[in-house]
């Protein structure tokens, strides 16, 4: 089974307001950590083997998964008996494989990836961030990656501007107005597929985006998978609120399960 690597080491300064006790991946959307939502997207397509590269407040993520059964399932206790509790009903995540690797507090995402490389078992793997959700077809992404034969595929997305765009002529007369138009450029939306052989290009301490992906592009080994559906990242409290509003309205587009 193809594995999914998720760096979980960022401090999430913008969303935490500087609170050192906040782990960004555990910020809740609809009562579940956003990290859980990301993992559920992959699991919906049968990709249930995860490697989490822990960093800042990784102990919180470790505790979340260690206590997962007790905290997320119905239970029945007989007080004083060592075999209690007994769990009630099925656990939809019972077949998930979750490997937690401590990669340190300060390393870049690229260094975190380099450190978890010994735990990769297949020829290729998924890599994504712990704060971005989308209604992406993971099978289609993988098929695209396998079709072109390059070493790295990154999902691209064209977000909308948060402002209206005005086109004036030389005299100041507005000739066109566009409210929230889509950008012309593609951004890295995460949801990557990487051949394990490409990790030979990953030097100690190298940054993922400004180092590794740049090098792959220079070598002609980076391809873009265009996603034109829903995508959101959660960098700020406002964006977390927006995702919660999607979820509470019952129209969360990333809920593909």
Can you give the CATH number for the domain in which 10 is found? 3.90.550.10
- Does the pTM surpass 0.75? The reply is yes
Q: pLDDT tens across 230-248, in order?
A: 999 998 989 999 999 999 9
Least confident of 19-33, 73-87, 234-248: 73-87
Domain that holds residue 232: 3-156+184-248
> What's the pLDDT at 173?
85
In Å, what is the CA distance from 11 to each residue of 58, 196, 241? 10, 27, 19
Q: Does some domain include residue 234?
A: yes
> What's the pLDDT at 80?
75
Q: Is 66 buried (19+), middle (13-18) or exposed (0-12) by CB count in 10 A? A: exposed
Q: pLDDT tens across 204-238, in order?
A: 999 999 999 999 999 999 999 999 999 999 989 89
Q: Is 187 buried (19+), middle (13-18) or exposed (0-12) by CB count in 10 A? A: middle
Residue 78's pLDDT band, with cuts at 50, 70 and 90, is confident
Q: Is 72 buried (19+), middle (13-18) or exposed (0-12) by CB count in 10 A? A: middle
- β pairing state of 74-76 and 164-168: unpaired
Least confident of 14-28, 141-155, 191-205: 14-28
Does residue 108 contact residue 10 with C-beta atoms inside 8 Å? no
Cβ atoms within 10 Å of 142's Cβ, excluding its own: 18
Rounded CA-CA distance 112/151 in Å is 19
Q: Does some domain include residue 129?
A: yes
> What's the pLDDT at 16?
55
Q: Does some domain include residue 170?
A: no
Q: Which residue has the higher pLDDT, 148 or 168?
A: 148
pLDDT at 17 over 60: no
Q: Does some domain include residue 253?
A: no
Angle at 155 between CA 153 and CA 161, to 5 degrees: 150
Based on the structure, what is the number of domains in the chain?
A: 1
């Amino acid at each position: 089974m193809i594995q999914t690597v998720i760096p979980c080491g960022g401090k999430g300064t913008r969303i935490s307001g500087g609170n050192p006790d906040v782990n960004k991946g555990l910020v809740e959307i609809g009562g579940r950590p956003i990290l859980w939502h990301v993992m559920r997207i992959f699991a919906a397509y049968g990709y249930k083997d995860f490697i989490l590269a822990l960093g800042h407040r990784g102990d919180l993520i470790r505790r979340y998964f260690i206590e997962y059964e007790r905290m997320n399932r119905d239970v029945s206790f007989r007080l004083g008996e060592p075999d209690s509790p007994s769990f009630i009903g099925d656990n939809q995540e019972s077949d998930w494989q979750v490997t937690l690797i401590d990669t340190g507090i300060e390393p870049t995402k690229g260094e975190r990836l380099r450190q978890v490389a010994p735990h990769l078992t297949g020829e290729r793997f998924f890599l994504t961030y712990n704060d971005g959700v989308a209604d992406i077809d993971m099978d289609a992404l993988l098929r695209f990656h396998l079709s072109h034969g390059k070493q790295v595929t990154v999902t691209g997305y064209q977000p909308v501007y948060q402002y209206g765009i005005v086109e004036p002529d030389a005299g100041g007369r507005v000739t066109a107005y566009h409210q929230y138009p889509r950008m012309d450029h593609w951004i890295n939306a995460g949801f990557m597929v990487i051949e394990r052989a490409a990790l030979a290009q990953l030097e100690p301490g190298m940054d993922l985006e400004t180092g590794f992906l740049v090098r792959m592009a220079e070598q002609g080994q980076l391809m873009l998978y265009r996603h034109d559906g829903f995508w959101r990242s959660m960098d700020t409290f406002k964006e977390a609120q927006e995702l919660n509003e999607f979820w509470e309205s019952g129209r969360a587009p990333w809920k593909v399960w």
